[in-house]
Amino acid sequence: MRKIVILMGLLAGAALLTGSPAQAELGCQCVKLGAPWICTGTIDQCLKYGGICLATCAYEPKRMRRADKM
């Protein structure tokens, strides 16, 4: 019984360590009085917005759009 528990623990550890890493970047949940919160990339961006960084959030930078060619 003890061998089975040890084997199950090793298999669970191997399953956790072989997964792919997360691709999300951490940002700052910026809160400004009277406005909805936004997710900024850094604390400095939040201060420029005029808010306070309260917690971390999943930051996704804005992507540039292509101009349509005629």
Residue 26 neighbours by CB distance under 10 Å:
11
Rg of the chain in Å (alpha carbons): 21
3-state DSSP assignment of residue 70? coil
3-state secondary structure 9-60: HHHHHHHHHCCCCCCCEEEEEEECCCCCCEEECCHHHHHHHCCEEEEEEEEC
pLDDT digits (tens, 9 = 90+) for 10-49: 666 555 555 555 555 788 898 999 999 899 888 888 889 8
pLDDT at 13: 59
pLDDT band at 67 (very low <50, low <70, confident <90, very high): low
Six-digit token string for 18: 């072989």
* pTM for the model: 0.51
